[in-house]
Amino acid sequence: MIIPGLKSRYLVDERGLENAVWVPDTSVIVSGGILDLLGKATPSKIIIHNAVLDELQAQANMKRETGFEGLANLVRIRETCEEKGIKIEFYGKRPSYEDVLLAKKGSIDSIIRDSVSDVDGVLITSDKVQALSALSKGIRTYYVETKRKGRLRILDFFTINTMSVHLKVNALPHAKIGSPGNFKLVKIRDTPFTMEEFEQIVRELMEEVGRNPKAFLEIDYGGATVLQIEDIRIAITRPPFSDGPEITAVRPIVKVSLDDYDMHEELKKRLIEKQRGILIAGPPGAGKSTLAQAIAEYLKDHGYIVKTMEDPRDLQVSEEITQYTRLKESMAKTAEILLLVRPDYTIYDELRRTEDFQVFADMRLAGVGMIGVTHATRAIDAIQRLIGRVELGVIPQIVDTVIFVEGGRIKKVYTLRYTVKVPTGMHEEDLARPVIEVRDFITDELEYEIYSFGEEVVVMPIKEIGRGPEEGVFKIAKEEIEKKLRKKLKMPFALEVVSEKLVKLYVPPREIPKVIGKNGKNIEQLERYLGVNIDVAPLTEFSGEKALPSNAIRAEPAFTGKSVIIDVGKDYAGRQVEIYVGDRHVLTAIVGSKGMVRIKRNTNIGALIEEALENGIPIYYRVI
């Protein structure tokens, strides 16, 4: 049925198909509906417009499943016609290149539709828009509403606790059995998956998309197709995108509520007390989307209007929660519609590209409660994915809560606060700046600080900050300044960061005049380049101010033509070792298989060690 209650004298039934000329369009060929129809009625002949063949060929050349399936069905149609003695012809002018490009805008459909009157035939279509357009022009039309025959073959590979099925041609079929965080990969059978099975399953799936209102073609790129058929997401790949034809089908095996999680009651209250910006983060397969579904239902049950933004749409939510996908290939356009709809909360599954984070931020700043799902191996990594994509100062307005999921359980919850203060590890009052505090939700313990330091954005783990300035943020600054100095100074040097505005540069005594330059010209240029003041000192003073670790061992470096060699001992092969010039740590390295650390002499560290020994400064190492 095209539209319930719609009647037209041009709408043909099965009796009107008998001995008529059939003109099928692309939709009914791709869906396979015309093959089913050949078992119910017999045409005088079938005329296939050349525009259909060219459109399918163009799609197949772009490695799209619709093209492959359509061409395969054309072969099946010809074989069926030959068996039944039905004449089949190709007819009509070949479409232009522009017509093929504009196929999605209806150009090919229009060509096929207009050809029906020329041959006094009946248009056969599975496309409602095509059928209605043809009826409006007085063209005799038969609408094929295809229905599934039996169970989809892909379901034969699933059991009640199967999370995903992995089918690759010429390989043994496998499946993930279990639940998020507690699954294993098992072999389904002992015989390889065949190309014939691949084609049969793909054909069924493409037909299902044409007939099932809850089945969608989400993505159809060259060699990669993604379908959403009810609660199953299916990815189909072919060469050259993959090295062999493959089908991956993923199905949620559990639908949980927040009561199934060990969620703190205060966190539940936080979700519903006002609209918030929340990131649900975790590694692949951790159960992020499952938690997002549970939160969506929880919010709906507490009187919030909830929508989703998904690509593809695979969240399992109740009918009251509308699921949106990309509009005209853009989530930004989807957001424009949602901002008119004004939901209380939107679930964004998932945030990957810069566009996704920016759309998430725009909607949150517009006042919509947002819950984003994103991949991250640590909770703090989810926040770091925002850095560089949105302004640092508005991050707490965009995201105020991070929920980290692993193994289907909530492992960590962070809250974000915006303040102005002197960052931890700094001491001067004039170093106060805007700081984002990342705190543990349960204990309120400060775990990270995020702020700008010069041109860099620092994500500082508070627990790792030591007593000395170079153990904290200054260590990061030091590394950046050293990189720049290596481009300018062709001599060994050592560096100490005194404050944000002052560094102490140690160079060989004989090089000091060169570094300073006539009337201080060189040092002024260097200060402008680095953006800090520089105090120049002889390398011989680069020791004695810090306590050397008690377990440091005096080294006796050896020299070859290209390397400085420090023998640590074979027992420490593969271990990390710290190298000290005097009392100053200058390098962390990995001990080689023969128990030695090799440093190239033409590097700054190699030259620094050599210069230090010439000036009587001892070298030490400490195995970590």
What local confidence, expressed as pLDDT, does residue 14 receive? 87
Q: What is the pLDDT of residues 288-300, one digit of tens each?
A: 988 999 999 999 9
54, 55, 61, 63 alpha-carbon torsion, rounded to 10°: -150
Separation between Cα atoms, residue 234 and residue 231, nearest integer Å: 10
Fold (topology level) of 153-250 = Beta-Lactamase (3.30.450)
Q: What would the mean pLDDT of 434-460 be, rounded to a whole number?
A: 88
Q: Residue 469: pLDDT band by 50, 70, 90 thresholds?
A: very low
What tens digit of pLDDT does each residue of 98-145 get?
655 555 555 788 888 888 988 999 999 988 888 899 999 999 999 987
Task: Tell me the C-alpha distance between 546 and 51, whole Å.
Answer: 81
Amino acid occupying residue 550: S
CATH class, domain 14-143, is alpha beta
* Range ranked top by mean pLDDT from 69-83, 93-107, 600-614: 69-83
Alpha helices, DSSP H, located in 321-378 = 331-341, 354-365
- Percent of the chain whose predicted confidence (pLDDT) is above 90: 36
Query: Residue 275, Cβ neighbours under 10 Å: how many?
Result: 18
* Among 440-449, 483-492, 552-561, the least confident range: 483-492
Confidence of residue 466 (pLDDT cuts 50, 70, 90): very low
% of the chain at pLDDT higher than 70:
92
Report how far apart the first and last C-alpha atoms of the chain are (Å, whole number): 75
- The bridge status of strand 533-538 relative to strand 174-179 is unpaired
Residue 503 · residue 496 · CB < 8 Å: yes
Residue 474 confidence (pLDDT) above 80: no
Where is mean pLDDT largest: 4-8, 228-232, 262-266, 378-382?
378-382
- Average pLDDT (310-320) is 84
> Between the ranges 23-37, 74-88, 89-103, 205-219, where is the mean pLDDT highest?
74-88
Q: What is the pLDDT of residues 132-179, one digit of tens each?
A: 999 999 999 999 876 666 788 999 999 888 989 999 999 999 999 987
- Residue 332's CB is within 10 A of a number of other CB atoms, namely 15
pLDDT number for residue 467: 41
pLDDT band at residue 415, thresholds of 50, 70 and 90?
A: very high
H or E element at residue 523: helix 521-530
Sign of the CA dihedral running 29, 32, 33, 37? positive
52-56, 310-314, 390-394, 402-406: least confidently modelled range: 310-314
The H helix count followed by the E strand count for the chain is 18, 32
Average pLDDT score over the chain: 86
Contacts of 619 (CB under 8 A, 6+ apart): 554, 555, 556, 557, 566, 579, 580, 581, 609, 612, 613
More reliable by pLDDT, 5 or 129? 129
> pLDDT tens-digit profile of 549-578?
778 888 889 988 889 999 988 888 888 888
Residue with tokens 């505090």: 437
pLDDT at 181 over 60: yes
Tokens representing 241 are: 């995108």
Task: Please count the CA atoms within 13 angstroms of the CA of 508 that sit on its side-chain side.
Answer: 18
Residues 6+ away with beta carbon under 8 Å from 303: none
Is 411 in contact with 405 (CB distance < 8 Å)?
Answer: yes
Q: Give me the residue spans of the domains in the chain.
A: 14-143, 153-250, 258-464, 471-536, 553-623
How many other C-beta atoms are found inside a 10 Å radius of the C-beta of residue 599?
23
Q: Are 177 and 162 in contact (CB under 8 A)?
A: yes
**3-state secondary structure (DSSP) of residue 149:** coil
Do domains 14-143 and 153-250 share one topology? The answer is: no
What's the pLDDT score for residue 189? 92
15-28, pLDDT tens digit by residue?
A: 889 999 999 999 88
Cα–Cα distance, 395 to 451 (Å, whole number): 11
Report whether pLDDT(233) > 80.
yes
Q: Which residues, 6+ apart, have CB-to-CB distance to 43 below 8 Å? A: 17, 18, 19, 20, 21, 22, 86
Rounded Cα distance, 364 and 373, in Å = 14
At residue 569, what is the residue type? G
Q: Which two tokens stand for residue 486?
A: 């290596």
pLDDT of 428 over the 80 cut: no
**pLDDT confidence band for 409 (50 / 70 / 90):** confident
Task: Round to whole Å and give the CA distance between 64 and 238.
Answer: 9
Q: Does residue 430 register a pLDDT over 70?
A: no
- 338 contacts: CB under 8 Å, gap ≥ 6: 307, 309, 324, 346, 363, 368
Q: What pTM value is reported for the model?
A: 0.58
CATH fourth-level superfamily of 471-536: K homology (KH) domain (3.30.300.20)
- Is the pLDDT at 419 greater than 60, yes or no? yes
Q: Which numeric CATH code is attached to 258-464?
A: 3.40.50.300
Q: Tell me what pLDDT residue 481 has.
A: 82
The pLDDT value given to residue 255 = 65
In eight-state DSSP terms, residue 92 is: S
Helices 195-211 and 65-84, packing angle to 10 deg: 100
Alpha-carbon distance of 461 to 554, in angstroms, equals: 32
